Amino acid sequence: MSDTRPGDPYLLGATWDGQGTNFAVYSSAGAYGGEVVLYLFDDNGRETRVPLAVDCDIWHARVPDVGPGQRYGFRASGPYD
């Protein structure tokens, strides 16, 4: 998604603004060399991966043209305890 922006880390969850959606989630994955990726799923189950920016353990991105009803998930990588 070429128009994806870093987004707002202070709006946790998925927040629609009428033109796009800001996604933000807390994870300390970065402290352990990991990352968090946003997955968007279309009606056929195909996925689009959106890398997230991170500020103080809040991973975030603003994705234009994504609104209510969008299926999504987050995947965090890093060591597992």
Each residue of 20-58: pLDDT tens digit? 999 999 998 777 778 999 999 999 999 999 999 999 999
Is residue 7 classed as helix, strand or coil in its secondary structure? Answer: coil
Band of residue 2 on the pLDDT scale cut at 50, 70, 90: low
> What percent of the chain stands above pLDDT 90?
68
pTM, entire model = 0.88
Ordered structural domains, the chain, with CATH: 13-76 (2.60.40.10)
Tell me the pLDDT of the chain averaged across its residues: 90
CA distances (Å), 21 to each of 24, 37, 51, 80, 81, in order?
10, 15, 15, 30, 32
